[in-house]
C-alpha cells in the first residue's frame, strides 16, 4: 500500500498558551507544545500492535486530510517486540527467529504488508533440512512417537491420518474453517472497526468458543479424543505451551490454521520496521515511557527517559511531550508506566471511562537456540540408531498424564518442541527448543548423543554444543476460557491494544488491534472536526 502526502486538517487547533502552561504537570517542567493545526499521537511499543497502529494511523489520517505527527517509543534497541532475531555465531548473515517465527496466508495484514514492502518470504517446509530418509514432523509423548508425518502432503500421509484417526482430521479442519471464518469478519464492515472486543466477539458467536476449553470444544463437536490429545494438543503446546484442558477453544482452532505457513527472510520484524518507516514516525528506540499524565484539556503529557539511564525519581526531571492521543501497545503490567490521572482519586478530569487493564498470567517460556555438529540422537527417542529423527519434534502427554488446568503440564516429555531449523554455513545443525524450564547441559548432551560427563560444567563448555543462546519470554497469556475481554479505550484519547492477547495471541491479531485502534482514533478526530 502506497501512502499519499497528507494535507492540513481544517478547523482544529491547540492553543500554544494552554499547551505550555504546565497545567496538571508535576513540578515546574513545561512540555513541548502541540503544534497548531497538527494532531500528535504517541505510540508506546514498536511491536506488531504499535507498528500497525502507526502505519494505519498515517493511512487513515491521510485519507481524512488530517496533518499528523506520530512518535513511537520503544524501550528496546530494536523494532518488533516479541518478533525478533538473533545472529547465530554473532554472524549477521545467520539470523534466526527468537520469538514469533511464522504467519500464515490468512493473516491478511502481515501478508499484504510483506508484499507492499517487497519483502521476500519462504515457506517453513522449504526452510527445514531433511535427508532423503527423514520425516518432517513427529509427535512424541516422552516414551514413543504417536504420529510421524513425512511432510510431503502425499496421499500416503493423508491415508495414515484417516486410518488412525478416522474422520477426526476432516471434522477438525471443517470446524477450524467455520470458527476462523467467524473471526475473519472482524476485518470488514459492518463489524470493523469495533469499539469493544467483548461485544464483537459476542456478535460473531465467538464467545461460545472462548468460553470452552479446547478439550470441551472439540468434544462438543464430536472430534475423537485420541486425535485431540495426540495431534491437536501437540499443536497447542508448540504454539502456546498449554494443554487442551487449559487453553480456550478459539486459540485451539487458531493452532490448526496452519495452511501456507511462511516467514520473512531476514526476520519477521522487517514487516514492522517497514510499517514504522511507511508511517514516517519519529522512532525513539532505547526510550522508556515512565509516566503518562492526562491534562485538563484532554491531552496527555508523556514522560520518558533513556532505557539504560540511571533511575530518575522525579518525573519533572524527565523529558515530557504533549500528545492528543496515546496508544499503549504492549502489556501494561510489564511496562512500569504510571498513568496518574486514571489511578488517582479526585482527579479534575471527568472524561469517562477510567479503566486500568487487569494483570493476567503470562506463560514464561524458555527458548534455547543452539548449534551442534551432530544430529539428534535417535535412541533418546526410542528409535533405532540408523533411523533419522523428524526435523520437528512436537510433544504431547501420555495417556496416564492428566495435569488438568495446571500450567506446569509439560509431562514426561520434558519439553514442548525441538526443531531442527536448518544447517548453518559451517554445516552445523541449528536447533530451537521450547520448554517450561531451562534446558541444562546434560539434556543437550543427551539429545545429541554425548554421554554425561560429571567433570564438565556449563562454565567449562559442552563439546556437543558449538553456540548457544537462551531467552526467557513472557511469550503469551495463559489462554484461559473467558467471555469478556479487556477494554480498548482506557480513557478519552487513551487506547490499549494488548487486550486482544487473551482472545487470540498472534502477530496478526496484534496488528489487527493496532489497525482497529487507528481507525477509531481517526474516526474520533473526524467527528470532533465536524462538530467544531
CATH number for the domain that contains residue 42:
3.50.50
Residue 27 lies in a domain: yes
Count the domains in the chain. Answer: 1
- The reported pLDDT for the residue numbered 22 is 37
Residue 466 lies in a domain: no
First to last CA, the chain: 32
Highest mean pLDDT among 3-12, 346-355, 402-411: 402-411
Residue 76 lies in a domain: yes
Alpha-carbon gap, residue 137 to 393, rounded angstroms: 6
Residue 319 lies in a domain: yes
Alpha-carbon gap, residue 308 to 334, rounded angstroms: 17
- The reported pLDDT for the residue numbered 244 is 97
Alpha-carbon gap, residue 306 to 318, rounded angstroms: 10
Cβ contacts of 226-230, under 8 Å, gap ≥ 24: 226/165, 226/168, 227/165, 227/166, 227/168, 227/169, 227/172, 228/168, 229/396, 229/397, 229/399, 230/139, 230/141, 230/146, 230/147, 230/396
* pLDDT at residue 477 tops 50: yes
Strands 392-395 and 137-140: parallel
- The reported pLDDT for the residue numbered 195 is 98
pTM: 0.88
- The reported pLDDT for the residue numbered 23 is 39
If you average pLDDT over residues 88-101, what whole number do you get? 93
- The reported pLDDT for the residue numbered 20 is 34
Q: Which of 184, 322, 303 has its CA nearest to residue 253? A: 184
Residue 461 lies in a domain: no
Which three three-digit cell numbers place residue 31? 512540555
- The reported pLDDT for the residue numbered 315 is 55
Highest mean pLDDT among 3-17, 107-121, 316-330: 107-121
DSSP-derived 3-state class of residue 415: coil
Residue 503 lies in a domain: no
DSSP-derived 3-state class of residue 34: coil
Domain boundaries, position 34: 21-51+64-80+272-325+333-361+483-498+524-531
Each residue's pLDDT tens digit, 501-514:
999 999 999 999 99
Q: pLDDT confidence of 160, banded at 50, 70, 90? A: confident
Which of the pair, 343 or 209, is modelled with greater confidence?
Answer: 209
* pLDDT at residue 458 tops 80: no
Residue 506 lies in a domain: no
Alpha-carbon gap, residue 153 to 125, rounded angstroms: 11
Q: pLDDT confidence of 351, banded at 50, 70, 90? A: very low
> What average pLDDT is seen over the chain?
87
- The reported pLDDT for the residue numbered 134 is 59
Each residue's pLDDT tens digit, 309-349:
756 555 556 789 999 999 999 999 999 999 987 545 445 54
Which of the pair, 8 or 220, is modelled with greater confidence?
Answer: 220
Residue 426 lies in a domain: no
Amino acid at each position: 500500500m502506497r501512502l499519499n502526502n497528507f494535507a492540513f486538517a481544517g478547523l482544529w487547533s491547540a492553543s500554544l498558551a494552554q499547551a505550555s502552561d504546565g497545567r496538571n504537570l508535576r513540578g515546574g517542567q513545561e512540555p513541548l507544545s502541540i503544534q497548531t493545526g497538527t494532531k500528535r499521537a504517541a505510540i508506546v511499543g514498536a511491536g506488531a500492535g504499535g507498528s500497525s497502529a502507526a502505519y494505519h494511523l498515517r493511512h487513515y489520517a491521510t485519507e481524512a486530510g488530517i496533518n499528523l505527527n506520530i512518535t513511537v517509543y520503544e524501550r528496546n534497541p530494536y523494532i518488533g517486540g516479541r518478533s525478533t532475531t538473533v545472529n547465530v555465531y554473532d554472524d549477521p548473515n545467520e539470523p534466526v527467529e527468537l520469538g514469533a517465527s511464522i504467519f500464515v496466508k490468512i493473516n491478511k495484514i502481515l501478508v499484504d504488508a510483506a508484499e507492499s514492502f517487497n519483502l521476500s518470504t519462504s515457506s517453513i517446509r522449504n526452510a527445514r533440512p531433511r535427508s532423503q530418509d527423514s520425516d518432517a514432523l513427529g509427535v512424541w509423548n516422552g516414551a514413543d512417537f504417536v504420529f510421524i508425518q513425512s511432510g510431503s502432503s502425499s496421499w500416503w500421509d493423508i491415508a495414515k491420518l484417516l486410518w488412525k484417526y478416522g474422520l477426526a482430521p476432516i471434522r477438525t479442519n471443517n470446524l477450524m474453517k467455520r470458527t476462523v471464518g467467524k473471526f475473519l469478519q472482524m476485518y470488514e464492515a459492518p463489524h470493523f472497526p469495533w469499539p469493544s472486543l467483548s461485544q464483537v466477539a459476542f456478535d460473531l458467536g465467538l464467545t461460545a468458543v472462548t468460553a470452552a476449553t479446547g478439550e470441551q470444544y472439540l468434544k462438543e463437536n464430536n472430534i475423537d479424543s485420541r486425535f485431540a490429545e495426540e495431534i491437536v494438543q501437540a499443536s497447542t503446546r508448540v504454539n502456546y505451551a498449554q494443554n487442551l484442558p487449559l487453553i480456550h477453544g478459539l486459540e485451539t482452532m487458531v493452532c490448526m490454521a496452519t495452511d501456507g505457513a511462511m516467514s520473512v527472510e531476514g526476520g519477521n520484524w522487517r514487516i514492522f520496521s517497514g510499517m514504522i518507516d511507511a508511517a514516517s514516525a519519529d522512532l525513539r528506540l532505547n526510550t522508556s515511557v515512565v509516566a503518562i499524565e492526562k491534562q485538563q484539556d484532554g491531552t496527555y503529557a508523556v514522560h520518558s527517559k533513556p532505557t539504560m539511564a540511571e533511575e530518575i525519581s522525579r518525573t519533572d526531571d524527565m523529558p515530557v511531550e504533549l500528545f492528543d492521543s496515546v496508544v499503549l501497545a504492549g502489556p501494561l503490567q510489564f511496562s512500569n508506566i504510571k498513568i496518574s490521572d486514571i489511578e488517582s482519586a479526585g482527579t479534575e478530569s471527568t472524561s469517562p471511562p477510567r479503566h486500568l487493564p487487569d494483570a493476567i498470567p503470562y506463560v514464561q517460556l524458555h527458548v534455547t537456540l543452539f548449534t551442534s555438529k551432530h544430529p539428534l540422537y535417535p535412541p533418546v527417542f526410542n528409535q533405532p540408531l540408523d533411523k533419522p529423527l523428524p526435523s520437528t519434534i512436537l510433544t504431547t502427554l501420555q495417556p496416564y498424564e492428566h495435569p488438568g488446568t495446571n500450567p506446569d503440564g509439560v509431562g514426561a516429555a520434558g519439553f514442548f518442541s525441538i526443531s531442527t531449523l536448518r544447517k548453518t554455513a559451517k554445516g552445523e545443525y541449528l536447533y530451537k527448543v521450547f520448554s517450561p524450564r531451562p534446558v541444562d547441559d546434560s539434556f543437550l548432551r543427551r539429545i545429541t548423543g554425548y554421554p554425561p560427563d560429571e567433570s564438565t560444567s556449563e562454565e567449562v563448555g559442552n563439546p556437543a554444543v558449538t553456540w548457544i543462546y537462551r531467552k526467557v519470554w513472557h511469550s503469551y497469556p495463559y489462554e484461559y476460557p473467558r467471555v469478556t475481554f479487556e477494554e480498548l479505550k482506557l480513557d478519552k484519547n487513551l487506547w490499549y491494544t494488548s487486550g486482544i492477547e487473551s482472545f487470540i495471541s498472534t502477530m496478526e491479531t496484534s496488528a489487527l488491534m493496532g489497525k482497529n485502534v487507528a481507525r477509531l482514533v481517526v474516526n474520533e478526530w473526524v467527528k470532533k472536526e465536524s462538530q467544531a
